Structure 1
Amino acid sequence: MTAHLSPEHIALIDSGVSVIVASRDAQLRPSLMRGMGSCISADGTRITVYLRPSQAQPLLDDLAAGGPIAVVFSHPPTNRTVQLKASGVRIRAVEPSDQAALRRYRVVMQNNLGQLGFVPDYVAAAFSVLPGDLVAVEFTPEAAFDQTPGARAGTPLPARGAP
């Protein structure tokens, strides 16, 4: 079953929010890493997150071995957060068509983190990537949760086709 994302949740994810990607190995040991960007299809059924293999190899190994994925998308100035989960992923090389989304992501993160007092040079350095040190991880969300701090944190979002 595919998770249903409202236009509001799709817009949040598409807006260039902070991305944390997690999985686990066969012994249930967690692995996680900050994503270097993300993009979402217009209908919310296809998500791509970008990871640096130089920093995220254990996570990529867990995903490649069939571990599930959980991704938290959070807007730093407001902490508005959604978590998506899926049972599997497709890992692929970054393509030229990904570059526009990555550039846009860096600019938006500079603005978002700038609102919290981080200077643009710091953010640019934190999200810089050496050529060839980036892969794309694609998945279709199967479950979605509101994770914004507060009374609704952890509330499942309805599945597509559910009442």
Structure 2
Amino acid sequence: MTDSQPIIDADLAQFMQRGISLNIGSSGPDLRPSVARALGCVVSDDRRTVRMLVSATQSASVIEHVRSTQRLAAVFSEPPTHRTYQLKGSDAHVQRATDADLAVVRRYRHAFVRELEQMGYPPKLIYGFLHCPDTDIVAIAFTPTAGFSQTPGPKAGQALGAKP
């Protein structure tokens, strides 16, 4: 997109902050990849900055890679429909989670459990793999510089904002 328009439009910002599957990835200087599940997402009001909320313990490799390369990719996927988007940035940095971030994580956990429960997954199982103490949660903030539709089908891989 242009400097005047963020890559993320209002509909995508809303989608990203729902109870959907959230994953992040990075790579080290040696290009060895790392991946982790995120526990929430906060899109800034101007839609130019994204904060991915993660367990520092469970995301240790990604955090190490972000600290050394500042690269981050984030994937947002709706399990029942496979509607999926990917954002990439090269200025990622780790921040402390705020009280507002922790509230986002609590809402996200409940929303994601409801999403997967409709597909037959037991809530206890989902809460189990989303669990971590609040003191372990950190934010990884980045400015998306590229975005892509990754929904299976003819538009998979199409840049966000591109005309078909």
Q: TM-score, normalised by structure 1?
A: 0.90
The separation in 1 between residues aligned to 2:63 and 2:124, in whole angstroms, is 28
What residue in structure 2 maps to residue 114 of structure 1?
Answer: 117
1:12 aligns with 2:8: no
Spell out, residue by residue over 1:39-77, the C-alpha distance to the aligned partner (whole angstroms, 9 max, x if none): 212332121111212222111010011241100000111
The separation in 2 between residues aligned to 1:117 and 1:81, in whole angstroms, is 21
The separation in 1 between residues aligned to 2:133 and 2:57, in whole angstroms, is 10
What residue in structure 2 maps to residue 21 of structure 1?
Answer: 24
Spell out, residue by residue over 1:66-114, the C-alpha distance to the aligned partner (whole angstroms, 9 max, x if none): 2411000001111111100001212111111212211110111011111
What residue in structure 1 maps to residue 106 of structure 2?
Answer: 103
Aligned pair count reads 159
The separation in 1 between residues aligned to 2:98 and 2:13, in whole angstroms, is 23
Give unpaired runs (5+ residues) of structure 2. Answer: none
1:59-70 to 2 correspondence within 5 Å?
59-70=62-73
Divergent runs of 4+, >3 A: none
Give aligned-pair identity as a percent: 32
Give unpaired runs (5+ residues) of structure 1. Answer: none
The separation in 1 between residues aligned to 2:22 and 2:84, in whole angstroms, is 10
The separation in 2 between residues aligned to 1:129 and 1:24, in whole angstroms, is 24
The separation in 2 between residues aligned to 1:47 and 1:141, in whole angstroms, is 7
Q: Secondary structure at the match of 1:155?
A: coil
Q: TM-score, normalised by structure 2?
A: 0.90
The separation in 1 between residues aligned to 2:39 and 2:8, in whole angstroms, is 22
Among candidates 73, 77, 90, match of residue 74 of structure 1: 77
* RMSD over equivalenced CA pairs, Å: 1.6
Task: Note if contact 1:24-1:67 (Cα within 8 Å) is conserved in structure 2.
Answer: no
Task: Note if contact 2:39-2:55 (Cα within 8 Å) is conserved in structure 1.
Answer: yes
What residue in structure 1 maps to residue 96 of structure 2?
Answer: 93
